[in-house]
Each structure stands twice: as structure tokens, then as C-alpha cells.
Structure 1
Amino acid sequence: MTDYDVLRVFCAANGGYGNELGVVRDGSVMPGRSERQEFAAKLGFSETVFVDDPERGVIDIYTPSARLPFAGHPCVGAAWLLDVPELVTPAGVVGARQDGEFSWIEARPEWPEPRTLRQYASAAEVDELPVPPPGEWVYAWAWEDEAAGRVRARGFPGRGDGIDEDEATGAAALLLTAQLNRALNIAQGAGSQILTAPQPHGWVEIGGRVVLEH
């Protein structure tokens, strides 16, 4: 079995929750796209990262069913694990920094796959939503405290690949931040926390706590 690490990304203040991420630190053991895709499907995490150059931060990201040019929680987790100033993804170069308990990346809203950002009237409505049928990628959100920038959100990938709900979705948080053009403190899933902030020239920072599970 190929060696891999499991991280939890966008954890709560107590280190709980967060979205699991598989990381194969030595991508050379599995260089082909088809075998990487098969391995990501076998692991079953919402995303798995293959590190092709740990010093330069070159990474390759897969869901159980597709290769992604960019994704939020894999980049935040990989930046923390590799402790590099940037990551090189097919979408572009992702800036990275560590700030106390938070790992941050800087990316562009054009990079993630399309998502439907669907606003609801209250956090309670978001909490009560059933998982929608496969189809579009839906990021359901509502203000918990608009003045403070606090958001309640849930992510439904809709791919039909066994991931009915994403515990924490950095790319969707990036898109929402770009749409609202303001810093956000997002509570997603069962208890994960995502921080964001718009940056000059259309960039967005996304930050969260990362824990090495094993």
C-alpha cells in the first residue's frame, strides 16, 4: 500500500472537525493520472493530493472521480504540511504562509470549478437542508451575523461519487468572498471554520487550522 498522510483541514478551535485530506508525499511512486485517480477513489476522501516536488510545492489534486486544477482545502493542507511559500498547481501559483495556528493560501476566484452559491434566509434553514440529488455543486449559505461577516454554510458536491456533503470547502469560500467582496468567518459542515479575506487585484486569502491525523 502506498504511504500517505491524512490531515484534517479547517478545524475548529479545539482541533476537532475539519475536512479530511489524503496526501501522498512522494508522487513519483504513482506517476500516472489513471493510477492516481484510482488511488484517490480507493481512499474516498473528498480530495487527495500527490506531491510531485516538495521543495517547489508542485502538487496534483484528485477527487474520487476527477482531477482538479485547483482546490481550497487540499492547498491549505499541503501548504501546511510542506511549509513552502507557494504551491504550483495546474491552475496557477498559489501563495502560502503560516500565521500562528492558521495556514493561509492566496488564490484567484477564476480557478475553482463552478459552484452554485445559494443564499438562504437563516442559518437554521441551512442546517435543515437535505442532501440534494446529484447534479450541480451547491454551496448553501446564510448570514449568522452579517455585520461581523459570520456565515453558516454547507457544501454539496453533487458528483455522485460518494461525497454527499463536503465538511469544509475552501474553493467555495473563495468564490463567496469574491462575490461579497468582504472578509468572512465561515462555519461549515458539522463544526469546521474557514477564514477568508479579499486581497488586491482580485486575489482572495483562505485560512484555517490543520491537524495531522496520521
Structure 2
Amino acid sequence: MTDYDVLRVFCGPGGGYGNELGVVRDGSVIPERGDRQAMAAKLGFSETVFVDDPERGVIDIYTPTLRLPFAGYPCVGAAWLLDVPELVTPAGVVGARLDGEFSWIEARAEWVPPRTLRQYATAAEVEALDVPPPGEWIYAWAWEDEAGGRVRARGFPGRGDGIEEDEATGAAALLLTDRLGRALNITQGAGSQILTAPQPGGWVEVGGRVFLER
């Protein structure tokens, strides 16, 4: 098996939770897309990143079943691991920075694959949801504190690839921030934390804590 790291991205304040991310630091060892897809399927993480140029931040992102031009939590994790000012993805150049305990990226909503943002009346309703059948990608959310920008969310990819629920989803958080036009403090899944902030010119910053698991 090719060497890879496992990060947890968007961890909670105590360092727990977060979404596991596989990162192959030397993408040259698996140059073919088909082989990368097969490895991503075998690893079984929500997403796996192949680093094609660590100095320039060139990365390639896969779910267990498809290649993604852009994805939020893989970019946040890669930005932390590579410590570069930008990442180069097929969708475009992603700004990157580290600020204390948080790793941040800056990206655009139009880079995000389709998501259904479904608002509920209360956080308790979101927490009580059952996993929906495969179909559309659903980001279920509700205000915990609208004045304070605090949101409760859960992400259901609906792909039928064994990932029934995403513990933390930066791309969907980016879409929600773009739609609402305000900074958000999102608790997703079992306890992951995602911070966001709209920026001038249609950009959105997404940030969170990253830890090296193994």
C-alpha cells in the first residue's frame, strides 16, 4: 500500500471529532487517475488528496467514487499540512493561510458541486434526522443562535458509496455562507467546528482546526 497520512479536519475546540482525510504526499507514485480512484475507494475516507507538487500546492481530490475539481475540507487539511500560501485545484487557485490554531482557505461558491441547502426550524430537528436514501446531496441546517451566527448542521452526500453522513463539510459551509452573506460558526456532525466569513469579490473563507491522526 502506498504511504499516506490521515488528518482530522474541522476538529472541535477540544481537538475531538473532525472529518478524516487521507493525504498521499507523493502523488507521483500513483500518477494515473484510475489508480487514484481505486486507492480512494479502498481507503474509504469521504475524500482523499493526492499532492502532485508540494511546493506549489498542486492537489488532486477524490471521493470513493469520483474525482472532485474542488472540495472544502480536503483543501483546509492540505493547506495545513503543506503550509503554502495557495493551493492549485482543477477548479481554480485556492488561497491558504494559517492563523493560530486554525487553517483557512479562500474559495468561490461556483466551484462547489451541487448541494441542497435545507433549513429546519430548530437544531433539535437537525439532530433528530435519519439518513435519507441515496439521491441528492443534502446539507441540513438550523440556527442555534441567529444573532451570533451559530449554526447546527449535518451533511448527507447521498452518493451510495458507503459514506452516509459527512462529519464536516467545508464546501457546503461555503455555499451556506455565500447564500446568507455573513460569517458563520457551524457545528456539524457529532461535534466538528467550521468557521466561515464572506470576503470581497465573491470569495468566502473557510477555516478549522486540523490534527495529524497518523
Partner of 1:110, secondary structure, is: helix
Question: How far 1:64 sits from its partner (Å)?
Answer: 0.2
What is residue 108 of structure 1 aligned with on the other side? 108
Structure 2: which 5+ runs fail to align? none
Instruction: Supply the AA of the counterpart residue of 2:169.
Output: T
The 5-angstrom pairing of residues 126-145 of structure 1 reads 126-145=126-145
Tell me if 1:19 matches 2:5. no
What is residue 124 of structure 1 aligned with on the other side? 124
Say what the alpha-carbon RMSD is for the aligned residues: 0.2
% identical equivalent positions = 86
Question: How far 1:167 sits from its partner (Å)?
Answer: 0.1
Instruction: Supply the AA of the counterpart residue of 1:189.
Output: G
Question: How far 1:62 sits from its partner (Å)?
Answer: 0.0
Distance in 2, Cα, partners of 1:20 & 1:73:
9
Question: How far 1:95 sits from its partner (Å)?
Answer: 0.2
What is residue 151 of structure 1 aligned with on the other side? 151
What is residue 90 of structure 2 aligned with on the other side? 90
Distance in 2, Cα, partners of 1:213 & 1:15:
11
The 5-angstrom pairing of residues 61-76 of structure 1 reads 61-76=61-76
Distance in 2, Cα, partners of 1:17 & 1:41:
22
Distance in 1, Cα, partners of 2:21 & 2:113:
18
What is residue 44 of structure 1 aligned with on the other side? 44
Provide the TM-score with structure 2 as the length reference.
Answer: 1.00
Question: How far 1:137 sits from its partner (Å)?
Answer: 0.1
Provide the TM-score with structure 1 as the length reference.
Answer: 1.00
Distance in 2, Cα, partners of 1:183 & 1:205:
9
Distance in 2, Cα, partners of 1:66 & 1:190:
25
Question: How far 1:175 sits from its partner (Å)?
Answer: 0.1
Question: How far 1:74 sits from its partner (Å)?
Answer: 0.1
What is residue 184 of structure 2 aligned with on the other side? 184
Question: How far 1:77 sits from its partner (Å)?
Answer: 0.1
Distance in 1, Cα, partners of 2:11 & 2:189:
11
What is residue 212 of structure 1 aligned with on the other side? 212
Partner of 1:73, secondary structure, is: helix
Question: How far 1:100 sits from its partner (Å)?
Answer: 0.1
Distance in 2, Cα, partners of 1:173 & 1:157:
14
Distance in 1, Cα, partners of 2:199 & 2:26:
33
Question: How far 1:90 sits from its partner (Å)?
Answer: 0.1
Question: How far 1:203 sits from its partner (Å)?
Answer: 0.1
Distance in 2, Cα, partners of 1:188 & 1:18:
9
What is residue 28 of structure 1 aligned with on the other side? 28
What is residue 164 of structure 2 aligned with on the other side? 164
Partner of 1:190, secondary structure, is: coil
What is residue 99 of structure 2 aligned with on the other side? 99
Question: How far 1:171 sits from its partner (Å)?
Answer: 0.0
